[in-house]
Structure 1
């Protein structure tokens, strides 16, 4: 059976001038318009498609992926407001996503970006959005998350302790101020990590991997950036956390640890300001090895 608002694996039944029809189980046959049909598609092929309702309320398939699926939360831009029904959000598909007035935590206006959760309205069987997030993100203990796991984050709100963030579009976690270093914006998308799964299922988050897992990839990133910039960079220990986050997607603490590792390996020197690449082989005539 096709699952409304999510990705589905559906078989190709037959072709028409308008497109191909897919087997939707209890939902019957579902049209995949020609513009979405992959080249070389044959009868009985199985395609991955997203199922939603078109402007005439018919089920329709697309091979495009929306910015949010049912059961997920994401930042979406308000396209327009209809005083009779609510706001419409851009979720990456031809038909905008309805945010009914009754589902708005506070009024929204065209041009706003809101954190919205996609769900199926039980009364109409249509996909709608809500900005009343608590009951959707405060779920039972999350399954499958573990310490050190990389995750996609969306900043939800600032609190006295740090920032509440949406984890993988489905759960909520906390980024402590001590693990951030730079001010974050509501709706900002970041790469992060699970630092701890606490009793009761609460998630503690960090923007950097721990220990060597954090430093080793970052040192290679810094070296690559230096090579692409002619052997030097204008960034060093005195660079601001905001500049470091923007250019290297890491905290200032992690950046300083990576610079320290490169300096101890004699692969960089500090030029005050900035850093420059050091090729030990040119100085010694021997192949360089870490720790030598």
Structure 2
């Protein structure tokens, strides 16, 4: 079955004045690829990657445009117009994405960016957007997540203690500000690493690898800075946490683990107010 809101590989089945009609291999359901998306190297029988969505007349249509998000995904989109039925966002296709007023967590303004979830509305059978994100996120681990796992993050909010992130387009998580070596912005995408899942199922995320891998990676950071500084740095496990974060880009807790590992490997010696390369 041809899936609405998804990029998929379809076969060029037949040609008509308005464009190519595409089908799934082994299927008979057709969708039109309009002339404006057809390139000279396309031929009957070719398999091509297309995105399928509804045109302005609510007809299913294929496109070679690359959308900013697909069905059941999240993205940071700009509102280009607001009228009596809702707000419209640019999502990388010829037709803008509608966010009806009922799907807005607060009134959206033209020219501003918002985190948007796109889904297939069961009543209208149309792709629509929503900024009411809570109901589209899993707020507890479902048992498929593991400590140390690398994940994709999208920042969708900020509170006093941390940055609210969407994990792998599915889960809600938190990056603590006192453990982050950078200031994250809403709409920013980055990689993260899962911390141990909390007893209540909530998910915390680190921006640096967890455990042994983290120490190894950051050991090189410290050694590189030691070499660049001539073999001595005025930092120790007694140093100010903010100074450590500003200079090395990670927390004091991690810094202490790193220099402890380097000390055990006999690569540095630790003095009261400094570390030295051996």
Query: So what's the TM-score if we normalise by structure 1?
Result: 0.70
After superposition, the C-alpha distances for 1:60-110 in whole angstroms (9 at most, x for unaligned) are 11233311211112211111111x111111111111111111111101111
DSSP 3-state at the match of 2:148: coil
State the shift of 1:214 in Å. Answer: 3.5
Measure, in 2, the Cα distance between the counterparts of 1:17 and 1:217: 58
1:191-270 map, 5 Å: 191-198=191-198, 201-214=201-214, 216=216, 251=250
Contact 2:140/2:203 (<8 A) preserved: no
Name the residue aligned to 2:172: 172
Instruction: Kindly state the Cα deviation for residue 13 of structure 1 after the two structures are TM-superposed.
Output: 1.0
Contact in 2 for aligned 1:49/1:62 (Cα 8 Å) = yes
User: For 1:130 and 1:100, how far apart are their aligned partners in 2?
Assistant: 8
Residue 113 of structure 1 deviates from its aligned partner by 1.1
CA separation in 1, counterparts of 2:190 and 2:62?
A: 30
Normalised to the residue count of structure 2, the TM-score between the two structures is 0.74
Check the 8 A contact 2:141/2:197 in 1, yes or no.
Answer: no
1:77 aligns with 2:78: yes
> For residues 197 and 99 of structure 1, do their structure 2 counterparts lie closer, same or farther at Cα, with a shift above 3 Å needed?
same
**1:207·1:251 contact (CA, 8 Å) conserved in 2?**
no
Aligned equivalent of 1:97: 97
| Contact 1:182-1:242 within 8 A present in 2 as well | no
What is the distance in 1 between the residues matched to 2:205 and 2:115? 19
State the alpha-carbon separation in 1 of the partners of residues 223 and 110 from structure 2: 44
Say if 1:164 and 1:174, in contact at 8 Å, map to a contact too.
yes
Q: Distance in 2 between matches of 1:2 and 1:155?
A: 32
CA distance in 2, matches of 1:171, 1:3: 23
**Mapped partners of 2:257, 2:150: distance in 1:** 19
User: Aligned to 1:197, what secondary structure does the other structure show?
Assistant: coil
Report if the CA contact (8 A) 1:74-1:169 is conserved. Answer: no
**What residue in structure 2 maps to residue 50 of structure 1?**
51
Tell me which residue corresponds to 1:131.
131
Report the Cα offset of residue 161 of structure 1. 3.5
In structure 1, what is the Cα distance between the partners aligned to 2:29 and 2:118? 24
Q: Unaligned 5+ residue runs, structure 2?
A: 236-241, 268-277
Q: C-alpha distance in 2, partners of 1:184/1:108?
A: 22
The 1:79–1:262 alpha-carbon spacing in structure 2 relative to 1, beyond 3 Å, is: farther
Paired residue for 1:275?
A: none
Number of residue-to-residue matches in the alignment:
256
SS in 1 for 2:93: coil
Distance 1:253 1:81, change over 3 A: farther
**Which is further off, 195-204 or 49-58?**
195-204
Q: Give the superposition deviation at 1:147.
A: 1.9
Retained in 1: the 8 A contact 2:141–2:171? no
Contact 1:183–1:242 (CA<8 Å) still a contact in 2?
A: no
Change (3 A) 1:131 1:44: same
Between 1:141-150 and 1:61-70, the stretch displaced more is 141-150
> Which blocks of at least 5 consecutive residues in structure 1 are unaligned?
245-249, 267-291
1:5 paired with 2:5, answer yes
